[in-house]
C-alpha cells in the first residue's frame, strides 16, 4: 500500500476515533451544574402508574435528548415535565430545589399529576424564566414572595393546586407579566395591584380573597378578568370603566357594591357574569348590547328594564328590583327565537305585552313568575324560581311607595 493510501486510512481512523469519542463523551457537553440539577430533579419525581415519561432519562446519554428537556448550547433552556398528551397520569413527588441551578431556564411546566409539597424558593434564582406553569397538582404552602425577582416572567399559572396565604404584592410589580392564573386554590388576603402594562389575563376565581379593588389596580390592557367565587367587596365602577379591552368578565359570587357602569356594555365582551353580588342602581346601556350572555341576576338593581338589552341572546335579570313594563322589543325578539333565555322572575315588573295564545319557540325560555302581575303565558321556569306565580300585593304596593 502506498504512502498516500496509508495517510488516507490514518485520517479515516482518526475521524472514527473522534466521532466515537464525542459520542461517548456526549454527556459531558452539558454544563456540569445543569447535569447535576437534572439528576436531582429526576430523583425527586416519579412516573405515576401508566406513565413512562422518564423512560428516556438515561444519564449515560446526552440529557439534551431526554423527553421534555430542551437545550441551547450547553445549557437547559426549557423543562416540560410529564407526558403532555391528554389523559396522561402525570408525575408524583416533590420539586427538588436543585431546579434553581438551571441558570438559563426560560420555561418550566409540569403536566397535571400528583406533585406535592411547596414551591421551592430557589425558582426565584431563574432570572431568565419567562413561563412558569404548574397546574392541576397538589402544590401547597405559600406562593414565594421571591417570585417577584423574576423580572422576565410573562406567564404564571399555578391554578388548581392547594396553595394558601396571600398573593405576594411583589408579583404585581413584574413588568412583563401577561397572564396570571391562580384560580382554584385556597388563597386569602387582597388582590395586589398589577403594574404590568401588557397584562391581558387575570384569573383568580375560586379562592378566599377579600378586600376591595382600587380604581387603578388593573391596567387597561386587560382582556380577560375572572374573580368569581371569592369574598371581594366594594365598588368596581371606576375600575371597570377603564378596562375597555375586556372580552371576558366574571365577577360573580362576591359582595361587590355600587353601580354597574353603562359603558361596560359597549366593550368587546362576549360573556358578562356579574350575578350574585350587591350591585345597586339603574342599568342603562347607551346602545344596543351585542354581548351574547349577560347575567346580572341576584343583585339589588332597580328601575325599568332597558330595551337596549333586547339584542342579548341569554339574559338573566332575575332576582333584582326591576319595575315597570317589559319593553315590547323583548317580545318581538323572543317570538322570533332571537332571545334564547329571558329570565325576569323575582322582580317587581307590572306587565308584558304578549298574547296568551303566543307560541314561544321551543328553543327559547321565558320566566316571569313572582312579579307584580299574573304571567300572561304559561312557561317553564327553573325549579329554584319556586311555585308562586305572583308577588304578594302588599310587597308590590310597598315597592311603589
pLDDT tens over the chain, length 401 residues:
554 444 444 444 443 343 444 444 444 489 999 999 999 999 999 999 999 999 999 999 999 999 999 999 999 999 999 999 888 999 999 999 999 999 999 999 999 999 999 999 999 999 999 999 999 999 999 999 999 999 999 999 999 999 999 999 999 999 999 999 999 999 999 999 999 999 999 999 999 999 999 999 999 999 999 999 999 999 999 999 999 999 999 999 999 999 999 999 999 999 999 999 999 999 999 999 999 999 999 999 999 999 999 999 999 999 999 999 999 999 999 999 999 999 999 999 999 998 888 888 999 999 999 999 999 888 889 988 888 899 999 999 887 65
- Alpha-carbon gap, residue 395 to 256, rounded angstroms: 26
Looking at CATH, the fold of the domain delimited by 258-400 is given as 3.80.10
Q: What is the pLDDT of residue 2?
A: 53
Which residues, other chains included, contact 374 with Cβ-Cβ below 8 Å and sequence gap of 6+?
389, 390
Residue 119 burial (CB count, 10 A): 22
**Structural domain boundaries of the chain?**
258-400
**Which residues make beta-bridge pairs with 258?**
279
**Which residues make beta-bridge pairs with 279?**
258
Q: What is the pLDDT of residue 302?
A: 97
**For the residues of 323-334, what is the DSSP string, one character each?**
EEEEPHHHHHHH
Q: Is 262:286 a contact under the CB 8 Å cutoff?
A: yes
Q: Is 272:249 a contact under the CB 8 Å cutoff?
A: yes
Q: What is the pLDDT of residue 31?
A: 96
Q: Is 140:161 a contact under the CB 8 Å cutoff?
A: yes
User: What contacts 24+ positions apart, CB below 8 Å, involve 137-143?
Assistant: 137/90, 137/110, 137/112, 137/113, 137/161, 138/114, 138/162, 139/115, 139/163, 140/116, 140/164, 141/117, 141/165, 142/118, 142/166, 143/119, 143/167, 143/168, 143/171, 143/182, 143/187
- Alpha-carbon gap, residue 158 to 106, rounded angstroms: 17
CA diameter of the chain: 119
Q: Is 144:169 a contact under the CB 8 Å cutoff?
A: no
Pairing of strands 107-110, 75-81: parallel
Q: With helix as H, strand as E and coil as C, how does 170-181 read? A: HHHHCCCCCEEE
Q: Is 345:322 a contact under the CB 8 Å cutoff?
A: no
Residue with cell 304571567: 375
Q: What is the pLDDT of residue 357?
A: 83
Q: Is the dihedral of CA 141, 147, 148, 152 positive or negative?
A: negative
Q: What is the pLDDT of residue 387?
A: 87
Length of the chain: 401
Amino acid at each position: 500500500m502506498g504512502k498516500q493510501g496509508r495517510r488516507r486510512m490514518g485520517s479515516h481512523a482518526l475521524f472514527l476515533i473522534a466521532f466515537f469519542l464525542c459520542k461517548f463523551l456526549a454527556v459531558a457537553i452539558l454544563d456540569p451544574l445543569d447535569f447535576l440539577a437534572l439528576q436531582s430533579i429526576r430523583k425527586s419525581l416519579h412516573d405515576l402508574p401508566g406513565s413512562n415519561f422518564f423512560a428516556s432519562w438515561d444519564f449515560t446519554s446526552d440529557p439534551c435528548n431526554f423527553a421534555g428537556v430542551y437545550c441551547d448550547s450547553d445549557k437547559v433552556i426549557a423543562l416540560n415535565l410529564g407526558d403532555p398528551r391528554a389523559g396522561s397520569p402525570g408525575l408524583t413527588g416533590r420539586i427538588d430545589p436543585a431546579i434553581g441551578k438551571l441558570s438559563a431556564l426560560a420555561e418550566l411546566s409540569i403536566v397535571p399529576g400528583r406533585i406535592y409539597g411547596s414551591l421551592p424558593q430557589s425558582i426565584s434564582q431563574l432570572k431568565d424564566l419567562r413561563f412558569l406553569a404548574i397546574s392541576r397538582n397538589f402544590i401547597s404552602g405559600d406562593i414565594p414572595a421571591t417570585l417577584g425577582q423574576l423580572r422576565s416572567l410573562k406567564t404564571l399559572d399555578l391554578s388548581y393546586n392547594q396553595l394558601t396565604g396571600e398573593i405576594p404584592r411583589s408579583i404585581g410589580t413584574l413588568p412583563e407579566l401577561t397572564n396570571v392564573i391562580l384560580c382554584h386554590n385556597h388563597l386569602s388576603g387582597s388582590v395586589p395591584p398589577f403594574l404590568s402594562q401588557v397584562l391581558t389575563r387575570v384569573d383568580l376565581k375560586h379562592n378566599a380573597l377579600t378586600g376591595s379593588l382600587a380604581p387603578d389596580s388593573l391596567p387597561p390592557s386587560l382582556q380577560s378578568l375572572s374573580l368569581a367565587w371569592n369574598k371581594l367587596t366594594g365598588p368596581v365602577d371606576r375600575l371597570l370603566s377603564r378596562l375597555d379591552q375586556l372580552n371576558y368578565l366574571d365577577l360573580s359570587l362576591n359582595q361587590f357594591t355600587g353601580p354597574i357602569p353603562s359603558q361596560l356594555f359597549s366593550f368587546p365582551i362576549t360573556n358578562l357574569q356579574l350575578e350574585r353580588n350587591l350591585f345597586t342602581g339603574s342599568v342603562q346601556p347607551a346602545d344596543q348590547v351585542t354581548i351574547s350572555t349577560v347575567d346580572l341576576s341576584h343583585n339589588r338593581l332597580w328601575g325599568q328594564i332597558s330595551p337596549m338589552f333586547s339584542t342579548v341572546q341569554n339574559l338573566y335579570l332575575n332576582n333584582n328590583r326591576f319595575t315597570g313594563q317589559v319593553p315590547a322589543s323583548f317580545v318581538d325578539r323572543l317570538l322570533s327565537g332571537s332571545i334564547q333565555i329571558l329570565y325576569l322572575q323575582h322582580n317587581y315588573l307590572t306587565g308584558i305585552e304578549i298574547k296568551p295564545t303566543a307560541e314561544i319557540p321551543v328553543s327559547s325560555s321565558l320566566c316571569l313568575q313572582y312579579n307584580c302581575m299574573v304571567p300572561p303565558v304559561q312557561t317553564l321556569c327553573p325549579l329554584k324560581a319556586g311555585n308562586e306565580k305572583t308577588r304578594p300585593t302588599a310587597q308590590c304596593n310597598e315597592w311603589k311607595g
